[in-house]
Amino acid sequence: MDTLNVFDFLDRIVKLIKEEHILNPQEANKVIEYVDPHDLKNKIDLSLAAPCANLEELEAVCRDIIKYSIKTNSAKFHNQLYGGTDLYGLGATWLAESLNTNQHTFEVAPVFSLVELELLEEVKKLLGYTQGDGIFSPGGSISNMYGMVLARYKKFPETKTKGLHGLPVLVAFTSEEGHYSLQKSAQWLGLGTDNLVKIKTDNFGRMIAEELEKAIISRKAQGHVPFFVNATAGTTVVGAIDPLDKIADICERHQLWLHIDACYGGTLLLSKNFKERLEASHRSDSFAWNPHKMLGAPLQCSIFITRHNNILHECNSASAVYLFQQDKFYDVSYDTGDKSIQCGRKVDGFKLWVMWKARGKAGFASLVDNAIDCANYFRSKISNLEGFRLVQDEFETTAVCFWYIPRSMRSGKEDAEWWKKMNNVAPAIKEKLVKSGKLMIGYSPLVHRGFCNFFRMITTCHPVPTYSDMDYVIEQIKQIGEVM
Amino acid sequence: MDTLNVFDFLDRIVKLIKEEHILNPQEANKVIEYVDPHDLKNKIDLSLAAPCANLEELEAVCRDIIKYSIKTNSAKFHNQLYGGTDLYGLGATWLAESLNTNQHTFEVAPVFSLVELELLEEVKKLLGYTQGDGIFSPGGSISNMYGMVLARYKKFPETKTKGLHGLPVLVAFTSEEGHYSLQKSAQWLGLGTDNLVKIKTDNFGRMIAEELEKAIISRKAQGHVPFFVNATAGTTVVGAIDPLDKIADICERHQLWLHIDACYGGTLLLSKNFKERLEASHRSDSFAWNPHKMLGAPLQCSIFITRHNNILHECNSASAVYLFQQDKFYDVSYDTGDKSIQCGRKVDGFKLWVMWKARGKAGFASLVDNAIDCANYFRSKISNLEGFRLVQDEFETTAVCFWYIPRSMRSGKEDAEWWKKMNNVAPAIKEKLVKSGKLMIGYSPLVHRGFCNFFRMITTCHPVPTYSDMDYVIEQIKQIGEVM
């Protein structure tokens, strides 16, 4: 292939991003140009057997890749807890990627080390932590795992060197609507998934605190050692916020580490109107928040934070002498890498920093308030619409979960047979929506509440949602569902 | 701040990247504009207390951030196992970041799912695996942890649900020059660092296979259960490649999982001339390779691969119904997320794919051969130069480790006192190099071999190194070291 001048390819990429309207999709454009996986292989030349002959060919393949990729920056994308990106954050990633470095030492990341510190200080303030430490991690699952590791270390510091051998059974707790990463953490860390107890939730998806305490007592009676409770602020499906204050009381009584998985709901802390929902956050021992979800930081951007000083370092340090030399000529307390489970660590904080520097807390607040306002508008509107039925009356974050009942089923008797049929409705509507490229919206069952498949509508800060975007979603579902 | 049009900020960022020569540093420019951490806080307005007033202000701060950041794309950067980026890879990150999605389902990452599959197929071929599975992970440490988790699951599948409780002591093995992430894995996974046995290395930093077998037998005699051996292909400091074939024999004899940490050395597989050094790779059970190191894929790009089909899924699946619905309308075997410890997973494969598509295997081979050739030139040149002393005669990858002996010390008796003094030489020279902005090069001791601080010179594929870059490094060290 041609010899490459520095901006030959980069300029083409920027041109493609503009020409294909990735960041500002035209209203008429599809959110997805759906092709079945087996056929998609034939639509794009993804084979690496032979390289492209020249830049034109490479550009053409990239254009195909864009064509068949999801446009998360589209107002028609409501499929996940994340959506489009904040453009300030995106610009920051382009810059950080170009500077290609690691977050592990001040030596290679002087500015980015200070940026991370500044962010952690601000996040501590948001939470109401008066001290503590933190780290950016590659996603919420790993942030939650950090919480469990620190909790284990706090209770049994000898596990660092001796492992779990000879210890009693250690037990962790989360709600039955908590995220599956807690389960994976329990597995990886050697507790086993049987020793992650899933506590019953109420009709709004919130952990029942009394059930938690019962479970703790019951496990203790078996000679097991409870050590960790995960409370969720923004469950994955309905966006529920566990009763944090009550759970904190229980954790205090039983001396358990309280971790809050606020990967989704943590963004509410930025809203003047809604931050009180997370009021008890300052009572947690650790806290996970993903600005790459509701707030629209480009993926990945996840913060793990603990109110205990030094424990991240004490627990995780391996003191590798080739990297964290103690005879460096600068203050090595700025080298953060030994607190991490990673060695190389991507510069994830900088995008959040640029967003924050550009918008300020007030700017964030109005974006968050708007996302919630649109979710409320959506909920309120469908609650009076024929064919739509909310799975619960109220929601605490930006998720709105509902069934759509096709006209032909509306007068039917709602017996087991009827619900079995309903279970196929959301997947069938979704299939049509995706294949037409008109809308992407998630669905899920909630088995333990006896709920078959329902839609989960999500609003995020970017692209900035409007009421008319909400109306559009309702209209699309109706158009297909009505005639099923 | 101003209302933002889509490209207002992005165009400014591209302009800054060009104007500040981040990707093509001018020869006269510094690799670093060093400022002490405490002073740096005062040089750039990093405070988030108040937002910028307008885009001009934000651009000015970004320009400062560039000024004080490390230029890893400079020919003067040899500080880490990574360096500058492949510009094809960089363009790919700009595009992938703009498309802002997750690798976890085909639903949200149709093309990127196929891209990952294609890459894994090619990597399997490189390794000589005839089957298997893999995943892109957020760095080598976590890739190595995947290996240890799978090994544990293979031996004791019940650990997934029951944990380690009631099991005998499980033991893992690596060399004393293996990466510290193995230690962190042993800790997190509940083995404890005492149960990661560090096997003695020879004079070239390679694990002594006979010592490994002795250690396995000795632990077995204590009633412990060895289950995992990590062999390193490219150790962090001297770039040593463990005797893979011999270690594979031992693993076979004792039925242990063989993981190869080839995060650094895996890139040699792309070179026709050097791939034989990793010849026995196909005998491993799992393998970790970071294209973000020698090959210059933008950070992060790490591949974990295993030759066992299905085990990634069996071991790690949690079957979250909200995400991995089995009633989707497409072939859900394309949803890779449940194999992962992460939930959201960054699109890391695409950059490697674009690089590969642009350059082909032949293009990669010539870049890798050039990096090794430059390292050999460097080694060969300093081996005849007064004041330079290699810490070992030969190196197997692109690291060259050496002491620089200042003129004033050259005739001294090399007793304990002399070596104590030598220990300060590399840090002192480095301080001057960094503060002048002329060169960044790493140093390290190797305590178990009795070696005090020495320099570690690294060459990577990007920016494409030349002999004259090598001469420059030698010259800079001499200029400062000579007169100490």
State mean pLDDT over B259-280: 96
Residue B178 inside a domain? The answer is yes
Of A17, A34, A100, the CB nearest to B85: A100
Nearest to B301 by CA among B142, B174, B178: B142
pLDDT at B291: 98
Nearest to B41 by CA among A123, A110, A99: A110
Of A61, A97, A161, the CB nearest to B93: A97
State mean pLDDT over B275-292: 97
Residue B450 inside a domain? The answer is no
| Residue A4 confidence class, pLDDT cut points 50, 70, 90 | confident
- Answer yes or no: is pLDDT of B109 > 60: yes
State mean pLDDT over A123-151: 98
pLDDT in tens, A139-165: 999 999 999 999 999 999 999 999 999
pLDDT in tens, B34-66: 999 999 999 999 999 999 999 999 999 999 999
Residue B147 inside a domain? The answer is yes
Given a contact cutoff of 8 angstroms between Cβ atoms, the answer to whether B325 and A427 are in contact is yes
- Answer yes or no: is pLDDT of A380 > 60: yes
- Answer yes or no: is pLDDT of A320 > 90: no
| Strand A286-289, strand A257-261: pairing | parallel
| Strand A196-199, strand A170-175: pairing | parallel
Contact residues, A window 127-166, toward B, CB-based 8 Å cutoff: 138-142, 145, 149, 158-165
pLDDT at A30: 97
- Answer yes or no: is pLDDT of B2 > 60: no
State mean pLDDT over A426-434: 98
Residue A425 sits at the chain B interface (C-beta within 8 Å)? no
- Are B69 and A189 within 8 A, CB to CB? no
Nearest to A425 by CA among A405, A444, A448: A405
Q: How far is it, in rounded angstroms, from Cα B230 to Cα A437?
A: 47
Given a contact cutoff of 8 angstroms between Cβ atoms, the answer to whether A316 and A338 are in contact is yes
Residue A185 inside a domain? The answer is yes
Q: Sign of the C-alpha dihedral, residues A48, A51, A54, A55?
A: positive
Q: Determine which helix (DSSP H) or strand (DSSP E) holds B454, and give its type and residue range.
A: strand B451-458
Lowest-pLDDT choice from B313-322, B359-368, B419-428, B455-464: B313-322
Residues linked to residue A288 through DSSP beta bridges, in sequence order: A261, A304
- Answer yes or no: is pLDDT of A377 > 80: yes
Residue B126 inside a domain? The answer is yes
| Strand A302-306, strand A286-289: pairing | antiparallel
Given a contact cutoff of 8 angstroms between Cβ atoms, the answer to whether B238 and B179 are in contact is no
Residue type, B383: S
pLDDT in tens, A24-53: 988 889 999 999 999 999 999 999 999 999
Exposed, middle or buried, A479 (CB in 10 Å: 0-12/13-18/19+)?
A: middle
Lowest-pLDDT choice from A93-102, A225-234, B17-26, B317-326: B317-326
Using a CB-CB distance cutoff of 8 angstroms, which residues of chain A are in contact with residue B422?
none
State mean pLDDT over A352-368: 97
- What proportions of chain A, in percent to the nearest 5, are helix, strand and coil? 45, 15, 40
Interface test with B, best of A100, A191, A222 (most B CBs within 10 A): A100
pLDDT at B74: 97
Q: How far is it, in rounded angstroms, from Cα B203 to Cα A454?
A: 64
Residue A456 sits at the chain B interface (C-beta within 8 Å)? yes
Nearest to B334 by CA among B108, B97, B100: B108
Q: How many domains does chain A have?
A: 1
Q: How far is it, in rounded angstroms, from Cα A116 to Cα A312?
A: 15
pLDDT at B390: 98
pLDDT at A3: 64
Q: CA angle B193-B199-B204, nearest 5°?
A: 130
Residue type, A74: S
Residue B267 inside a domain? The answer is yes
Structure tokens of B402?
């050496």
Q: How far is it, in rounded angstroms, from Cα B132 to Cα B129?
A: 7
To the nearest whole Å, the CA of A64 is away from the closest chain B CA by: 9
B62 Cβ partners below 8 Å, 6+ apart? A95, A354, B12, B13, B16
pLDDT at B323: 87
Residue A427 sits at the chain B interface (C-beta within 8 Å)? yes
pLDDT at B6: 85
The average confidence (pLDDT) of chain A is: 96
User: Nearest residue on chain B to A33, judged by CA atoms?
Assistant: B110
> What SS3 string covers B26-51?
CCCCCCCCCCCHHHHHHHCCCCCCCC
Q: What percent of chain B has pLDDT over 90?
A: 96
Q: What percent of chain A has pLDDT over 90?
A: 95
| Residue B3 confidence class, pLDDT cut points 50, 70, 90 | low
pLDDT at B467: 98
Residue B122 inside a domain? The answer is yes
CATH number for the domain that contains residue A271: 3.40.640.10
Coil vs helix vs strand at A391: coil
pLDDT at B374: 98
Q: What are phi and psi of B235, to 5 degrees?
A: -70, 160
To the nearest whole Å, the CA of A258 is away from the closest chain B CA by: 19
Contact residues, B window 291-330, toward A, CB-based 8 Å cutoff: 292, 298-300, 316, 318, 320-322, 325, 327-330
Domain range spanning residue B141? 101-356
pLDDT at B484: 87
Residue A16 inside a domain? The answer is no
Given a contact cutoff of 8 angstroms between Cβ atoms, the answer to whether B166 and B190 are in contact is no
The average confidence (pLDDT) of chain B is: 96
Residues linked to residue B197 through DSSP beta bridges, in sequence order: B173
